[in-house]
Amino acid sequence: MAFMHLTAHMGGQSHERIGELGRRRVAVRERRLAALAERQHGVVARRQLLAAGLSIRTIERRIESRRLWIVHRGVYASGHAKLSLRGGWMAAVLACGEGALLSHRSAAALWGLMRPRGSADVTAGHGTGRHGRRGIAVHVARLGEADRAVVEGIPATTVARTLFDLAEAVDEVRLERALEEADRLGLLELRQLREVCDRSPGRRALRPVRRLIDAAREPERVRSPLEQRFAEFCRAHGLPPPVTNVEFLGSEVDAFWPAQRVIVEVDGFGFHRHRAAFERDRARDAARQAAGYRVLRLTHRRLQREAGVVAGELRRLLPVGGEGSGAAT
């Protein structure tokens, strides 16, 4: 009798240990799911929940109890129904299956090249249906690894591929603005855009994109040196001549009026600068401003297309007829 009582007691302890292990496994699984939802801007896919060990019935119960909210078929918001813009984009990508990427206008907005608008654009592989996804514009294409990126946790097309696809969705004026913004942010090399063109035969985007590439390269081939161009601009608008290509605070400046404490830097067309170069330029500008100098950064396009506006900005900084030369301090 004592033996049977001891055996029952030991069996009870074993069940307790098993129960405790089960609770720990569940707790670990829930923490992992919460971390996954956080990384994905508050959304999870049904396939991810199943892979984590949830049963179909458990998923259904969580929908019934409003722990999960249906966003798209097979995609849920975790904990609450309201999603951020990025949460909506992530949900759209998850809804289109493995390998899908945010693309076109939505990817351009995610990269900071234009404002977000309309449905979420997603590019998915062949076999993905174009219908039945409310709020998602599905584009079918086969993209390689060179076209893939992850931005803030969201799978998306690279800047070069985004701009190429954008050429088939917007007019050339908007495309050009997006290209200029990519250049300003230091996100694109012209070479990358050419490579996308080379591996995309037959696309409607080829003609407008190649026109913009040629326009971007043209000043490097045929225009006169920077100091001559900017000196001609100053003469044409009655501005005092600057000192050009002078060393100041450890780096060269394009145009300098020491007496008026004004510096102008003219950025080129090349779409070749990296983010590191962009950050270095801004750090130099900040150091010059901290030393008491005004810094105006212009683009060739502004000098061409907004010449009167640029001249007006410079007149407010430079007394007409003032001397541009003088020793740099």
CA distance 235 to 300: 17
Residues of the chain scoring pLDDT < 70 = 1-19, 22, 127-132, 217-228, 268-279, 320-329
Please report the pLDDT score of residue 310 as a whole number: 87
* CA 279 from centre of chain: 16
Other C-beta atoms lying within 10 Å of the C-beta of residue 18: 10
Do residues 185 and 277 make contact, with C-beta atoms less than 8 angstroms apart?
A: no
Nearest to 255 by CA among 315, 324, 310: 324
Judged by DSSP in three states, 323 sits in coil
| Angle, vertex CA 262, rays to CA 226 and CA 301, nearest 5 | 40
Are 200 and 141 contacting, i.e. CB atoms less than 8 angstroms apart? no
pLDDT per residue over 237-280, tens digit each? 888 888 877 778 877 788 888 889 998 887 755 444 545 566 67
Helical H segments across the chain, by residue range: 2-39, 46-51, 56-64, 85-95, 104-111, 159-166, 172-184, 190-198, 206-222, 226-236, 275-290, 300-305, 307-317
pLDDT of residue 14: 57
Phi first, then psi: give them for residue 265, nearest 5 degrees.
-115, 135
Q: Is 40 exposed, middle or buried (0-12, 13-18, 19+ CB in 10 A)?
A: buried
CA angle (281 as vertex; 184, 148 as ends), nearest 5:
45
CA 47 vs CA 36, 50, 98, 120, 317: distances in Å: 13, 5, 10, 21, 61
- pLDDT for res 167: 96
**Tokens representing residue 174 in the block:** 């908007």
Per-residue model confidence as pLDDT tens digits over 11-35: 555 556 666 776 888 788 889 999 9
- Picking from 39, 106, 23, the residue whose alpha carbon sits closest to that of residue 78 is 39
